[in-house]
Amino acid sequence: MKSTISYTSDYLLVEGGKPLKGKIDISGAKNAALPILMATLLTEDLCVVNNVPKLLDVKTTLELLENFGASVKQEGNKVVVSASKVNNLYAPESLVRKMRASILSAGPLLARFGKAIVAMPGGCSIGVRGIDQHLKVFEKAGSRIKVKHGYIHIEVDKINPVEYTFDVITVTGTENALMFLSRCPKRSILRNIALEPEVMDLVDVLKKMGVEIEIYDRTAIIIGNPDIKGFEHTVIPDRIEAGTFMVAGFITNGDVTLEGVRLEHLGSVIEKLKDAGAIIEILGKDELRVRSSGRINSLSVSTAEYPGFPTDMQAQFMAMLSLCSGVSEITENIFENRFQHVGELQRMGANITVKGKTAIVKGVDKLYGAEVFSTDLRASASLVLAGLVAEGTTIIRDIYHLDRGYERMEEKLSKLGAMIKREPPTGHF
């Protein structure tokens, strides 16, 4: 029966049932690369960022930097930025809509120019995702903020040092505040900050640029440097990509070795995967091997801020636990609407019931291939994982969501023996 829907985005075709075997290299972390690329706006000096993954969100970030007037050169996974000639302080809606993290341009623009006009990021499918905490820090330091016609207009004559305790632990809120204060030569204190490795990678870059930052527990003491310098930095490996491929190796009964991981960033994921029955061997300082014990144990998983179990691995674990022996519970504590993948997994035969923040996952013997739709970045990854183990063929639509956060996922999985390929939009099906 011809469907009348016309598709505009590539889709993936996945043939389930093949155990993944082989070695895979982990790319640089998207959520570290984005703030670090924004930090180049803080200085007139040349900045070199290595191990930048080739992702849609990175492409949008580079477009945003060029929109401000910076010159950007991308050679493979290396990006060279010179923001000496910034002549525009306006982040247009067309770019901000594509990537909420565009709000991270506000901190550096305010720090260097005292002005930023950024389109309101708006919500996204996983939740409201406010930016009140970002704005509170700007305001506390003396900024004047006006919202009109969907844009946030922020101006500050002189950034005063602040003492601020975040009402919620926010990754980009912490990153924006650190960059905003990085040229203020007086001592500021931020409490209840986020400690994600991606935040710490930005801290390492700001220190290289001449900013003094000390972190004790969840408190950061910052003494900025008006004469902030350029930097060269290699972005940390992506712990979420690593976790995603570990799940892939485990649920396909495969034998997968990950190279170029940062083991200390994977603690909670390794622990939970072992509880689920994965056999994980550390082969070296940045290498690990994942195999299956032949069964998937039921688990109780609760997402939390780092070093807790990451919300960005929740959807991937749900795909895995759909096949667990028994009943699992997954509680999402960070975002209020991050269960969009449940409906799509149910289409493949998963038995999942959502009660408030908790999904009850009753393990089934088998998942079946179906046509499913990506709704957000990590949800699309969970559908790929389900497709790798489902009986038959799975069609995963709207995979621009996947491309936002995973570099060449189908190529990396094919190298491990997966039967997966990308198809262009073919209009009517």
How deeply is 226 buried, as exposed, middle or buried, from its count of CB atoms within 10 A (0-12, 13-18, 19+)? exposed
**Residue 53, preceding peptide bond in cis (omega within 30° of 0):** no
CB nearer to ligand EPZ: pick between 245 and 277: 245
As measured in angstroms, the least distance from the Cβ of 123 to ligand EPZ is 9
Residues that bind ligand EPZ (CB under 6 A): 30-31, 34, 101, 127-134, 168, 170-173, 194, 198, 311-312, 334-335, 377-378, 405
Q: How far is the CB of 351 from ligand EPZ (least distance, A)?
A: 25
CB of 55 to ligand EPZ, least distance (A): 10
Least gap, CB of 167 to ligand EPZ (angstroms):
8
Nearer to ligand EPZ, 45 or 63 (CB): 63
Cβ nearer to ligand EPZ, comparing 12 with 33: 33
Indicate the residue among 112 and 378 with the shorter CB distance to ligand EPZ: 378
- Provide CB contacts within 8 A for 130, sequence distance 6+: none
Provide, rounded to whole angstroms, the least separation between the CB of residue 38 and ligand EPZ. 10
Q: Which of 47, 124, 184, 324 is catalytic?
A: 124
Determine the longest span between alpha carbons in the chain, in angstroms. 68
* Nearest alpha-carbon partner for 235 in 32, 74, 26, 39: 32
Q: Is 124 a catalytic residue?
A: yes
CB atoms within 10 A of CB 164: 19
Closer of 151 and 164 to ligand EPZ (Cβ): 164
Q: Are 91 and 119 in contact (CB under 8 A)?
A: yes
Backbone angles phi, psi at 325, to 5 degrees: -90, 100
Please choose, from the candidates 81, 82, 76, the residue with its C-alpha nearest in 3D space to the C-alpha of residue 52. Answer: 76
Of 134 and 265, nearer to ligand EPZ (C-beta) is: 134
Going by their DSSP bridges, the two strands 46-50 and 78-82 should be labelled as antiparallel
Q: In Å, how far are 49, 111, 179, 198 from 226, measured between CA atoms?
A: 22, 9, 12, 24
Residues 403, 407: Cα–Cα separation, whole Å? 7
Looking at residue 368, what DSSP letter applies? B
What three-state secondary structure class fits 163?
strand
Q: Please report how close the Cβ of residue 163 comes to ligand EPZ at its closest, in angstroms.
A: 18
DSSP 8-class letter at 197: H
Find the helix or strand (DSSP H, E) in which 289 lies.
strand 287-292
Q: Are 333 and 364 contacting, i.e. CB atoms less than 8 angstroms apart?
A: no
Q: Which residues are catalytic?
A: 124
